Structure 1
Amino acid sequence: MKTSFYLDDIKEQLRRFAPPTHVINWRDRWRASVGALCGLLTASWSSYLIFGNGGIPLLIAPMGASAVLIFTLPTSPLAQPWSVIVGNMISAVVGVCFAQLFPAQAGVAAIAVALAVLAMFSVRSLHPPGGAIALLAVMGGPSIERLAWHYVLAPVALQSVSLIICALLYHKLQGGSYPQSSAHQINLHQTGDQAISTRLGVSDEDLDAVLARQGKIIDISRADLRKLIMQTEIQAQQRHRTRIQCSDIMSHHLITVQFETPLEQCWQLLRTHKIGSLPVISDGGTIIGMLSLIDFLKQADLDVYHDFDLRLRQMLDQARILSGSEVQVAGHIMSTNPLTAQCDSNVLELVPLFSDRGLHSIPIVDDDGKLCGMVTQSDLIGALYQMQRNQVNTSPSNP
């Protein structure tokens, strides 16, 4: 019995060393791998282009670790440009100081790494490969020793900057967001109020308080952490509440226009149907943009109310009369790349889009991207009210 207890305890301890389950799909894995390849090739090419073959090491080992962070964890605070460039450079400075003052011994290298960590903390540029940068400066052998203080600028700074430049272009081409902004969420109405999700949900102060109590470094940005919490809450609500899909509440009979629809006609549609926006669709029925009242006001340059009606009418008249005018049709002033939702999406997924993104209506599309409906704020309010009623009626206290 006692032996069995110890075996179970050993098995439980061994399970803690098992690798975590990967939730990253194969497409993103290949993207990260190709990105790391491109980044390291760019870093080595820049070294060769400036210093030739043999001037400096074309690629130092710590850059491989930096590439892994930058291309696999682009939202991590440890992988942001400031952390990569400043973290690597300040670690190189510490490493070269020790290499100049002390012999190349393991103990000296260990102290250099420890002080490099403190230096990175002091300037908020913690970057794990920086430890390897400092260690390489002390223990890198003759090829690194002869560089002396040049080691800080080339290869460290040069290759770090090259990695970042490649990452900026690569993530941009992939449709990602790099670097991550640490700024607070922008208030679309330019007032002092926070977003509704922050007012009712998790605030920066809440995150700071919890992280301070944990006393640990969290390898995730504040914005991503807040987004994960919000999406987890929505997922939990979807599990416990009656599921209502966008297709259940959307409007099916839509007023739409096409790219070549004249602005005069678009304006009349907005007025006649008393709506705030018009979906712009292609010949195949896919949505290509949204045309709203705001788009008309922006185009008419209505910064002040004075002569409001005159300038708006002049813009519409020009669009109707002047065949050579640059602004004639809906496609010229519409907002492109509109946010959309799928027909089978849970209506709860629309809440942050309406509350924090300043949207008043969201186009609903099918699997082929074709427009099939619209959901407005009032539609969502009605759905949430119905969900609350269903929950109350089915609760144990209301038989």
Structure 2
Amino acid sequence: MQPVLTVKTLQKLRPWLVSSIATLSAREKLLSSLAAFLAILAVGWLSSRFIEGAELVVLVASIGASAVLLFAVPHSPLTQPWPLAGGTVISAFIGVACAKYVPSPWLAGAMAVSLSILAMHLTHSLHPPGGAIALLAVLGGENIHEAGFGFVLAPVGLNVLLVLVAALLINNLLPGHRYPARPVSRIDRKHRHKDLTPLGRLGLNRDDLRGALRDFDIYLDVSEDDLVQVYDKAGTHAFRRKMGKLTCADIMSRDLATAEFGTDLEEVWARLRYHRVKAMPVVDRFQHVIGIVTLVDFLKRANLKTYETFEDKLIKFIRRTTGTHSEKPEVVGQIMAAPVTTVRTDMHVSELVPLLSDKGFHHIPVVDGRGRLAGMVTQSDLIAAMYTCYVMKDESKESHGQSPHA
């Protein structure tokens, strides 16, 4: 007799049984497990100071399920502070009311869970463990029934407060986690106007996402901000695939004019003008980048409030002061921008796009594996790389008899 479930059958059923979400790293799995362990340990110990006997069962129901959400999916809309607190407390109140006024336990339980879901939807506080709390308030036994609506405050309210504090402390200490989830702005704050950032003006916007979510007409456990970030990341991966193995080392300028901390302002200004560049990296004697100076740094620090001509002000600022005392900067280390955002030689050019567009950088120093200056990339370098890449691909398609826009 052949087994009912063969390996091939299981493989066919797998897409229906197992979610196709992206695999998390082992590090993230361990961090979320460790976070849940610390939270349950801390909250359990504190709760035992105030709760005794059968009421400790509430601890398992109210924070065990919440811990999975809070530490495994901390960015989920279901785990934010209002759903955690509001959904749990509202469900507990509804559960107590159903237990008190509906004679049949199972009818009361069904009403408690269904009404809790409706109330959480209406108050934007959907939190799955709230359903367990509502059912527990009905079927939890005499101790809970005798507590009445006091059950909502203690132990439920107390446990919610403790687990919320634990989530705030532990999640924000873990690398890569943030709690509560912060809204991601696509407004271009760098240039102080209300336009979207350059990347934000292309592709999807929030209205597109909201329209798509309305079309689904089903609750998706992902926030709009996370959807935006997923879309942006997917775009980066697609761009990397299309650009091939092109790194910063392939497009950077290598023959650079540099300065050291103690280089005179007049000398740096002369180098900028001679090489016709707008920025110059500042390095130490080991060629580590310690700052960057631009034409704007000179203009910002010149005394523009006086009534002299612009040229006179700039010359007065750049020229070295004679004597031993000066009331203005004399060397480049006094006006350079530091610390400096740098990129590595082996970084793919796709990762330069958000830096040179949304972040507002125009020049970024490139460092090698030892952190030493290797070159500089600019917006012009990236544009040239993108243009060359797409032209070469179109020419390759034409040589094979394909449409360049296919």
If the TM-score is normalised by the length of the shorter chain, which range does it land in?
0.7 to 0.9
Question: TM-score of the superposition, structure 2-length normalised?
Answer: 0.77
Distance apart, 1:143 and its partner CA:
3.5
Backbone CA RMSD of aligned residues: 4.2
Match of 1:363 in 2: 365
Matched, 1:106 2:96: no
- Partner secondary structure for residue 232 of structure 1: helix
Distance 1:205 1:342 in 2: 36
Match of 1:190 in 2: 192
Distance 1:56 1:369 in 2: 58
- Partner secondary structure for residue 386 of structure 1: helix
Match of 1:87 in 2: 87
Match of 2:143 in 1: 143
Distance apart, 1:390 and its partner CA:
0.9
- Partner secondary structure for residue 375 of structure 1: strand
Distance 1:397 1:271 in 2: 48
Which residue identity is paired with 1:379?
D
Match of 1:3 in 2: none
The 1:290/1:43 distance shift into structure 2, 3 A limit, reads farther
The total of aligned residue pairs comes to 385
Match of 1:178 in 2: 179
Whether the 8 Å contact between 2:47 and 2:159 is mirrored in structure 1 is yes
Matched, 1:26 2:26: yes
- Partner secondary structure for residue 202 of structure 1: coil
Whether the 8 Å contact between 1:270 and 1:277 is mirrored in structure 2 is no
**Residues 31-50 of structure 1 aligned to structure 2 (within 5 Å):** 31-48=31-48
What per-residue deviation string (whole Å, max 9, x for no partner) do you get for residues 187-226 of structure 1? 2222121122221111111111222222222222222222
Distance 2:257 2:146 in 1: 72
Whether the 8 Å contact between 1:89 and 1:157 is mirrored in structure 2 is yes
What per-residue deviation string (whole Å, max 9, x for no partner) do you get for residues 295-342 of structure 1? 7899x799xx6349989x89x999x9789x9xx99599854473x433
Whether the 8 Å contact between 2:80 and 2:181 is mirrored in structure 1 is yes
Match of 2:155 in 1: 155
Whether the 8 Å contact between 1:43 and 1:160 is mirrored in structure 2 is no
Distance 1:307 1:91 in 2: 67
Distance 1:321 1:122 in 2: 73
Distance 1:164 1:155 in 2: 14
The 1:197/1:9 distance shift into structure 2, 3 A limit, reads same
Which residue identity is paired with 2:345?
C
Distance 1:211 1:231 in 2: 19
What per-residue deviation string (whole Å, max 9, x for no partner) do you get for residues 103-129 of structure 1? 472332122111111111112121111
The 1:52/1:138 distance shift into structure 2, 3 A limit, reads closer
When structure 1 is superposed on structure 2, of 329-338 and 86-95 the one drifting more is 329-338
Whether the 8 Å contact between 1:43 and 1:158 is mirrored in structure 2 is no
Distance 1:332 1:174 in 2: 36
Distance apart, 1:63 and its partner CA:
0.8
The 1:154/1:301 distance shift into structure 2, 3 A limit, reads farther
The 1:345/1:47 distance shift into structure 2, 3 A limit, reads same
Distance apart, 1:246 and its partner CA:
0.9
Question: Which residue, out of 201, 204, 223, partners 2:203?
Answer: 201
Match of 1:390 in 2: 392
Match of 1:4 in 2: none
Whether the 8 Å contact between 1:244 and 1:347 is mirrored in structure 2 is yes
Distance 1:70 1:126 in 2: 14
Whether the 8 Å contact between 1:244 and 1:346 is mirrored in structure 2 is yes
Whether the 8 Å contact between 1:254 and 1:373 is mirrored in structure 2 is yes
Distance 1:159 1:267 in 2: 65
The 1:329/1:232 distance shift into structure 2, 3 A limit, reads same
The 1:270/1:105 distance shift into structure 2, 3 A limit, reads farther
Distance 1:267 1:65 in 2: 65
Whether the 8 Å contact between 1:74 and 1:178 is mirrored in structure 2 is yes
Distance apart, 1:45 and its partner CA:
3.8
Question: Which residue, out of 225, 230, 243, partners 1:223?
Answer: 225
Which residue identity is paired with 2:251?
I
- Partner secondary structure for residue 117 of structure 1: helix
Whether the 8 Å contact between 1:295 and 1:335 is mirrored in structure 2 is no
Which residue identity is paired with 1:128?
P
**Residues 1-399 of structure 1 aligned to structure 2 (within 5 Å):** 12-13=12-13, 15-18=15-18, 20=20, 23-48=23-48, 51=50, 57=56, 59-103=59-103, 105-176=105-176, 177-182=178-183, 184-188=185-189, 189-254=191-256, 261=261, 265=264, 269=268, 272-273=271-272, 279=281, 306-307=305-306, 330=333, 334-336=337-339, 338=341, 340-396=342-398
Question: TM-score of the superposition, structure 1-length normalised?
Answer: 0.79
Distance 1:40 1:317 in 2: 64
Distance 2:400 2:53 in 1: 81
The 1:293/1:125 distance shift into structure 2, 3 A limit, reads farther
Match of 2:4 in 1: none
The 1:9/1:365 distance shift into structure 2, 3 A limit, reads same
Whether the 8 Å contact between 1:276 and 1:293 is mirrored in structure 2 is yes
Whether the 8 Å contact between 2:183 and 2:225 is mirrored in structure 1 is yes
- Partner secondary structure for residue 396 of structure 1: helix
Distance apart, 1:378 and its partner CA:
1.4
